[in-house]
Chains A and B, each alone.
Chain A
Amino acid sequence: MAYVALADKDHEQHLHDPQSFISKYIWSQDHKVIAVQYSLTAIAIGMVALVLSLMMRLQLGFPDTFSFITPDEYYQAITLHGMIMVIYLLTALLLGGFGNYLIPLMVGARDMVFPFMNMLSYWVYLLSVLVLCASFFVSGGPTGAGWTLYPPQAVLPGTPGIGGGIVLMLVSLVLFIVAFTMGGLNYVTTVLQARCRGMTLMRMPLSVWGIFVATILGLLAFPALLVTGIMLLLDAVLGTSFFMPAILSMGEQTKTAGGSPILFQHLFWFFGHPEVYIVALPAFGVISDLVSVHARKNIFGYRMMVWAILAIGGISFIVWAHHMYVSGMNPYFGFFFATTTLIIAIPTALKIYNWVLTLWRGDIRMTVPMFFVIGFIFTFINGGLTGLFLGNVAVDIPLSDTYFVVGHFHMVMGVSPILVIFGAIYHWYPKITGRMLNDTMGKIHFWLTLFGTYAIYLPMHYLGIQGLPRRYYAMGDTSFLDESTQAMNAGISVAALFVAVVQLLFLFNLFWSLFKGKRAEKNPWKATTLEWQTPDNPPVHGNWGPELPVVHRWAYDYSVPGAARDYIPQTMAPEDVPRADDSYHGEEGEHQ
């Protein structure tokens, strides 16, 4: 038997056809609905984090002006902003949202292999978000320990939210990890076991490769956060000393002794660094597909791109301590991690070259997704290059506690993935809703967001080199800082407010186009990949109608010499491809 794909055995794939509104949109087991649920929840909580960042910027830009922002609230805003953006927005949106939507459609499956567990994954994720939100309402408010929650200060008096705040934060993280594990097992197993006929691993679009490898990273790295979360929770609640040393707090000796805060840092960053790539790899994959579709050219170096994803995934587990150069580590240890950090830049740079080479002499369509692709490549190079500075111990130590770091990681981990997410939403919105997003609003949104974010983060590099310390509520009279520092800080804050307001245009576009947007064709971008070949647009439950698709070619047959059209869908057999010299005069899209 040459072919026994699970996806083809309909009797094994229980599809749980929705019977009512509730089973269709609320307790849904359909991967597409779950994807939308994940995305909307992530965007909603992301908006909370955005507002928190504005609070911080108001304080930094205009100190002594807003009496409602106290030092405690400032630290709470920092903590929640970081945690929400990294975990509850980016991870959830890229894997729970895009992963859920794209994997079954791109590999030709009817749904995820464990639909019930998939549904459960979303609801536990929502619960984790609600628990996190609950911490705003407990006595003492949410934790203000910084997004890395370093002990000992995370659980000691003096830090905001040491009562219910830190406990709810940790419980919420544990719940998130449970939710991620349930989703992640689904994504990996679906890719491995439910591909349609002809869809070999090397015929998969790079979006699926990125999400697939990122999920494996997540499955292996999130346990590190779970372990730290559980032990810190016990330190906070039961008074154990996993991480808590003997320490004088408020003039009194604590009951804890012997615990190692450095152990916490190692465990946290053993999760924390792969986390960067859990976010980056899906973004890399999506960009590869977007660049190829909108430049009408096959992706340059497909195999290299796959190998680079695998290499980055592997190496990302041995670079974690570059976040800890200032923790007093052995210099040889620092040397090792500086070396691995520079090595991981090689496959990453290779990917950037390949995107640029795909654009080279392509038939570039200046669509909104293409704008975001180019914006991403630019920004990622910026963020990546400053990463090379910070990867070196000798350069990192003076810069580590300054705004240089804030500028670097917001370029590489904030703006870059967000640009990809925007590009991806503009690209796949017609598939999800059946309508196009408004083009003009999209272009305005792009340019204002791009220039706005650069106005925020580029000056931060300069401020960092000047020595402006990060994490501070107010600078006061700091003699070594130039007077221009405060003016620049105020400028950054104005830019931040501006960028936040621009996002309302995007939200308006999402909502407006849902009802008033131009109706989308089945395959508006003339793409080759399977999700654009569904019989219905948007795809209905089960995705493919009575017959599963059969894949005859890889995902990047664009501008193939001799073919009549500039794309050949993956489902098209060689004998069906219209030739340029044939008497083929059909309309574009006739064969969809």
Chain B
Amino acid sequence: MSFFRKVTSKPWEHAGELEGIHGDFQPVSTASRTGLVMFLAVVSSMFLLFIVSYYTRMQSADWEVLKDPRILWFNTLVLVLASVAMQMASNLSKRDKPGRASLYLVGGTVLTLVFIAGQVAAWEQLLVAGYYAASNPANAFFYLFTGLHALHLVGGIWFLVRLGIKLRQHDYVQAKQNVALCATYWHYLLLVWLVLFALLLRT
């Protein structure tokens, strides 16, 4: 039932109806998925506004293009693999194979930690080379983008740990759903990283 049909219905009519447009209520997804989608909307709004600020700030004469560290390519590959691992875990848990799904989850977590370590290494390379946040806005945006993105991954890992606990307690019904949500979150953060990385490379 489309949203338009819903909000054009006349609620004062058909008192007593519990089916059809006047009474039916069928959520299209679970509460957790709705919560996640809303959260991703919030995060998108934040990154979008950062990107707008980035483009606006770039117009200024003092902007000096930052040469992005090569390690970012390696990090990107690692994050793609982490995302693939999460998807595999989700697929396996849907097919009721919690044991193998757990392996992929551990793999995804390790790869994500490697990615974060790689980002820290990129920071270190830049700092050693003298690219401080205060010396140019391009540097400052680089630290800001990578830092906030990594922070979101850390939050995701916290949820993964909680998921691991559920799996150990053999709470498979809840865990199955949460694995799928984690996979969505990881894909989303991969997408955000690809957008940010493309932006940083181009400018």
A188 touches B49 (CB 8 A): no
CA distance A184 to B38 in the complex (A): 9
B63 within 8 Å of A (CB atoms) = yes
Shortest distance from the beta carbon of A185 to any chain B beta carbon, whole Å? 5
Known: A4-B26, A234-B133, A260-B57. A200 touches B49 (CB 8 A): no
B199 within 8 Å of A (CB atoms) = no
B22 touches A200 (CB 8 A): yes
By the criterion of a CB under 8 Å from any partner CB, how many residues of chain A are at the interface? Answer: 66
Shortest distance from the beta carbon of A35 to any chain B beta carbon, whole Å? 20
A193 touches B140 (CB 8 A): no
Which among B21, B27, B49 is the interface contact of A227 at CB below 8 angstroms?
B49
Which among A3, A221, A240, A298 is the interface contact of B133 at CB below 8 angstroms?
A240
Compute the total of residue contacts between A and B using a CB distance below 8 Å: 160
CA distance A255 to B62 in the complex (A): 12
A307 touches B31 (CB 8 A): no
B11 touches A258 (CB 8 A): no
Can you list 15 contacts pairing A with B, beta carbon distance less than 8 Å? A184-B38, A186-B35, A189-B35, A193-B30, A198-B23, A200-B21, A202-B7, A202-B9, A219-B38, A227-B53, A303-B11, A550-B18, A552-B17, A552-B18, A553-B15
Residues from 60 to 83 in B contacting A, C-beta threshold 8 Å:
60-63
Q: Which residues of B contact A4 (CB under 8 A)?
A: 26-27
Q: Which residues of B contact A267 (CB under 8 A)?
A: 49, 53
A574 within 8 Å of B (CB atoms) = yes
Q: Which residues of A contact B42 (CB under 8 A)?
A: 181, 185, 219-220, 222-223
Per-residue interface assignment for chain B, residues 21 to 48, with 1 indicating a CB less than 8 Å from any chain A CB and 0 otherwise:
1111111001100110011011101100
With both beta carbons as reference points, the residue of chain B lying nearest to A550 in the complex is identified as B18
B56 within 8 Å of A (CB atoms) = yes
B57 touches A242 (CB 8 A): yes
Q: What's the interface size class on B, roughly? A: 35 or more
Known: A202-B7, A241-B62. A185 touches B38 (CB 8 A): yes
Shortest distance from the beta carbon of A330 to any chain B beta carbon, whole Å? 15
Closest 3 CB pairs of A and B: A258-B62, A223-B46, A554-B11
Shortest distance from the beta carbon of A20 to any chain B beta carbon, whole Å? 25
Residues from 182 to 223 in A contacting B, C-beta threshold 8 Å:
184-186, 188-189, 192-195, 197-203, 219-223
B31 touches A303 (CB 8 A): no
B46 touches A226 (CB 8 A): yes
Known: A188-B38, A219-B41. A197 touches B18 (CB 8 A): yes
Q: Which residues of A contact B130 (CB under 8 A)?
A: none
Q: Which residues of A contact B137 (CB under 8 A)?
A: 240-242, 258-259
Known: A201-B7, A259-B57. A193 touches B34 (CB 8 A): yes
A138 within 8 Å of B (CB atoms) = no
Shortest distance from the beta carbon of A551 to any chain B beta carbon, whole Å? 8
Q: Which residues of A contact B8 (CB under 8 A)?
A: 303
Q: Which residues of B contact A130 (CB under 8 A)?
A: none
CA distance A263 to B31 in the complex (A): 37
A553 touches B27 (CB 8 A): no
Shortest distance from the beta carbon of B162 to any chain A beta carbon, whole Å? 11
A42 within 8 Å of B (CB atoms) = no
Which among B11, B15, B148 is the interface contact of A302 at CB below 8 angstroms?
B11
